[in-house]
Amino acid sequence: MRRTYRRKKYKPDKTQFRANARIKVPEVRLIDQDGNMRGVMPTKEALEIAQTAKLDLVEVNPTAVPPIARIQDFGKMAYEREKIKQKQKAAQKTLETKGVRLTFRISEHDRMVRVKQSVKFLNKGHKVKIELIVRGRENAHMNVAFEKAKSFIEDVKELVSEEGEVVVESPPKKEGHRITSIIILKKSS
Protein backbone atom coordinates (compact mmCIF):
# COMPACT_ATOMS: atom_id res chain seq x y z
CA MET A 1 0.00 0.00 0.00
CA ARG A 2 1.31 3.39 -0.96
CA ARG A 3 1.41 6.18 1.59
CA THR A 4 1.00 9.79 0.66
CA TYR A 5 2.13 12.64 2.83
CA ARG A 6 0.69 16.09 2.77
CA ARG A 7 2.85 19.12 3.11
CA LYS A 8 1.95 21.52 5.85
CA LYS A 9 0.85 24.95 4.76
CA TYR A 10 3.22 27.73 5.68
CA LYS A 11 2.13 29.71 8.71
CA PRO A 12 4.42 32.46 9.90
CA ASP A 13 5.82 31.75 13.34
CA LYS A 14 4.90 34.68 15.56
CA THR A 15 7.67 34.02 18.08
CA GLN A 16 10.57 33.92 15.60
CA PHE A 17 11.50 37.15 13.88
CA ARG A 18 13.05 37.16 10.45
CA ALA A 19 15.82 39.66 9.86
CA ASN A 20 17.72 41.11 6.91
CA ALA A 21 18.07 38.62 3.99
CA ARG A 22 15.61 36.15 5.58
CA ILE A 23 12.71 38.47 4.80
CA LYS A 24 11.34 36.98 1.59
CA VAL A 25 8.31 39.20 0.91
CA PRO A 26 8.52 41.65 -2.03
CA GLU A 27 7.54 44.76 -0.03
CA VAL A 28 7.29 45.84 3.60
CA ARG A 29 5.82 48.67 5.64
CA LEU A 30 8.93 50.29 7.14
CA ILE A 31 9.39 51.88 10.56
CA ASP A 32 12.77 53.57 11.00
CA GLN A 33 15.05 53.52 14.06
CA ASP A 34 13.36 56.64 15.52
CA GLY A 35 9.90 55.02 15.35
CA ASN A 36 8.68 57.07 12.38
CA MET A 37 6.56 55.39 9.70
CA ARG A 38 8.39 55.49 6.35
CA GLY A 39 5.59 53.82 4.38
CA VAL A 40 5.39 50.81 2.05
CA MET A 41 8.53 50.13 0.01
CA PRO A 42 10.36 47.24 -1.65
CA THR A 43 12.24 44.98 0.76
CA LYS A 44 15.59 45.57 -1.00
CA GLU A 45 15.25 49.33 -0.58
CA ALA A 46 14.35 48.94 3.12
CA LEU A 47 17.33 46.63 3.59
CA GLU A 48 19.66 49.23 2.03
CA ILE A 49 18.32 51.92 4.38
CA ALA A 50 18.98 49.61 7.36
CA GLN A 51 22.51 48.83 6.16
CA THR A 52 23.37 52.52 5.78
CA ALA A 53 22.22 53.05 9.39
CA LYS A 54 24.40 50.03 10.39
CA LEU A 55 21.38 48.27 11.91
CA ASP A 56 19.19 45.28 11.03
CA LEU A 57 15.86 45.14 9.21
CA VAL A 58 13.59 43.06 11.46
CA GLU A 59 10.14 41.81 10.47
CA VAL A 60 8.06 42.60 13.58
CA ASN A 61 4.59 41.69 12.26
CA PRO A 62 4.70 39.00 9.54
CA THR A 63 0.90 38.54 9.44
CA ALA A 64 0.11 42.12 8.38
CA VAL A 65 -0.39 42.95 4.71
CA PRO A 66 2.25 44.06 3.79
CA PRO A 67 4.40 42.80 6.70
CA ILE A 68 5.74 45.44 9.08
CA ALA A 69 9.51 45.71 9.33
CA ARG A 70 11.55 47.88 11.69
CA ILE A 71 15.11 49.14 11.57
CA GLN A 72 16.77 48.21 14.87
CA ASP A 73 19.55 46.15 16.47
CA PHE A 74 18.34 42.54 16.21
CA GLY A 75 20.55 41.18 19.02
CA LYS A 76 19.40 43.87 21.45
CA MET A 77 15.73 43.20 20.60
CA ALA A 78 16.11 39.44 21.09
CA TYR A 79 17.86 40.01 24.43
CA GLU A 80 15.14 42.36 25.69
CA ARG A 81 12.37 39.95 24.64
CA GLU A 82 14.10 37.09 26.48
CA LYS A 83 14.43 39.28 29.57
CA ILE A 84 10.70 40.09 29.50
CA LYS A 85 9.84 36.38 29.15
CA GLN A 86 12.00 35.54 32.18
CA LYS A 87 10.30 38.25 34.28
CA GLN A 88 6.84 36.98 33.28
CA LYS A 89 7.82 33.41 34.12
CA ALA A 90 9.14 34.45 37.54
CA ALA A 91 6.01 36.49 38.31
CA GLN A 92 3.71 33.64 37.34
CA LYS A 93 2.29 31.97 40.43
CA THR A 94 1.94 28.22 40.08
CA LEU A 95 -1.15 26.93 41.80
CA GLU A 96 -0.41 23.47 43.09
CA THR A 97 -2.97 20.88 44.10
CA LYS A 98 -2.07 19.11 47.32
CA GLY A 99 -3.71 15.80 48.14
CA VAL A 100 -5.05 14.61 51.49
CA ARG A 101 -6.06 10.94 51.75
CA LEU A 102 -8.58 9.66 54.23
CA THR A 103 -9.98 6.20 54.80
CA PHE A 104 -13.42 5.09 55.85
CA ARG A 105 -12.26 3.96 59.30
CA ILE A 106 -9.76 6.75 60.07
CA SER A 107 -9.18 7.49 63.76
CA GLU A 108 -10.17 10.89 65.15
CA HIS A 109 -6.56 11.92 65.86
CA ASP A 110 -5.38 11.03 62.33
CA ARG A 111 -8.38 12.88 60.91
CA MET A 112 -7.51 16.05 62.85
CA VAL A 113 -3.88 15.79 61.68
CA ARG A 114 -5.18 15.76 58.08
CA VAL A 115 -7.49 18.71 58.82
CA LYS A 116 -4.56 20.77 60.15
CA GLN A 117 -2.45 19.72 57.18
CA SER A 118 -5.21 20.86 54.81
CA VAL A 119 -5.47 24.22 56.57
CA LYS A 120 -1.71 24.68 56.23
CA PHE A 121 -1.89 23.93 52.47
CA LEU A 122 -4.81 26.33 52.01
CA ASN A 123 -3.01 29.14 53.87
CA LYS A 124 -0.04 28.72 51.52
CA GLY A 125 -2.39 29.29 48.59
CA HIS A 126 -2.69 25.73 47.27
CA LYS A 127 -5.80 23.82 46.29
CA VAL A 128 -6.54 20.76 48.41
CA LYS A 129 -7.87 17.55 46.88
CA ILE A 130 -9.57 15.37 49.46
CA GLU A 131 -9.67 11.65 48.67
CA LEU A 132 -11.67 9.26 50.83
CA ILE A 133 -10.82 5.70 49.85
CA VAL A 134 -13.60 3.11 50.11
CA ARG A 135 -12.67 -0.59 50.15
CA GLY A 136 -14.61 -3.86 50.04
CA ARG A 137 -17.79 -3.90 52.11
CA GLU A 138 -17.48 -0.16 52.74
CA ASN A 139 -18.89 0.33 49.23
CA ALA A 140 -22.31 -0.65 50.58
CA HIS A 141 -22.24 2.41 52.87
CA MET A 142 -21.52 5.20 50.40
CA ASN A 143 -23.90 7.59 52.16
CA VAL A 144 -21.76 7.35 55.32
CA ALA A 145 -18.61 7.96 53.25
CA PHE A 146 -20.13 11.10 51.71
CA GLU A 147 -21.05 12.33 55.20
CA LYS A 148 -17.45 11.77 56.39
CA ALA A 149 -16.13 13.79 53.43
CA LYS A 150 -18.60 16.62 54.10
CA SER A 151 -17.78 16.69 57.82
CA PHE A 152 -14.05 16.84 56.97
CA ILE A 153 -14.69 19.90 54.80
CA GLU A 154 -16.74 21.50 57.61
CA ASP A 155 -13.87 20.93 60.08
CA VAL A 156 -11.46 22.63 57.68
CA LYS A 157 -13.88 25.56 57.31
CA GLU A 158 -14.04 25.99 61.10
CA LEU A 159 -10.24 26.17 61.46
CA VAL A 160 -9.76 28.58 58.56
CA SER A 161 -12.58 31.00 59.45
CA GLU A 162 -10.22 33.91 60.39
CA GLU A 163 -8.00 33.90 57.28
CA GLY A 164 -10.75 33.71 54.67
CA GLU A 165 -13.52 31.57 53.29
CA VAL A 166 -13.13 27.95 52.20
CA VAL A 167 -14.83 27.40 48.87
CA VAL A 168 -15.71 23.94 47.60
CA GLU A 169 -14.53 23.98 43.98
CA SER A 170 -15.87 20.51 43.26
CA PRO A 171 -18.30 18.90 45.72
CA PRO A 172 -17.71 15.32 46.93
CA LYS A 173 -18.31 12.86 44.12
CA LYS A 174 -17.64 9.17 43.57
CA GLU A 175 -14.77 8.26 41.25
CA GLY A 176 -14.28 4.52 41.23
CA HIS A 177 -13.52 3.31 44.76
CA ARG A 178 -12.91 6.77 46.14
CA ILE A 179 -14.77 9.97 46.90
CA THR A 180 -12.97 13.13 45.82
CA SER A 181 -13.51 16.82 46.43
CA ILE A 182 -11.42 19.93 45.78
CA ILE A 183 -11.43 22.96 48.09
CA ILE A 184 -9.71 26.34 47.83
CA LEU A 185 -9.30 29.32 50.14
CA LYS A 186 -10.56 32.76 49.13
CA LYS A 187 -8.74 35.34 51.23
CA SER A 188 -10.88 38.05 52.80
CA SER A 189 -9.52 41.48 51.97
| Amino acid 143: pLDDT | 92
| Amino acid 17: pLDDT | 79
Of residues 6 and 147, more confidently modeled: 147
Banded model confidence at residue 147, pLDDT cuts 50, 70, 90 = very high
| Amino acid 55: pLDDT | 92
Banded model confidence at residue 90, pLDDT cuts 50, 70, 90 = confident
| Amino acid 106: pLDDT | 92
> What are 119-132's pLDDT values in tens digits?
999 988 899 999 99
Q: What does the chain look like in DSSP terms, one character per residue? A: -----PPPPP---SSS--BGGG--SSEEEEE-TTS-EEEEEEHHHHHHHHHHTTSEEEEEETTSSSPEEEEE-HHHHHHHHHHHHHHHHHHPPP-PEEEEEEETT--HHHHHHHHHHHHHHHHTT-EEEEEEE--GGGGGGHHHHHHHHHHHHHHHHHHHTTTEEEEEEEEEEEETTEEEEEEEEEE--
Domains, the chain: 20-78 (3.10.20.80), 97-187 (3.30.110.10)
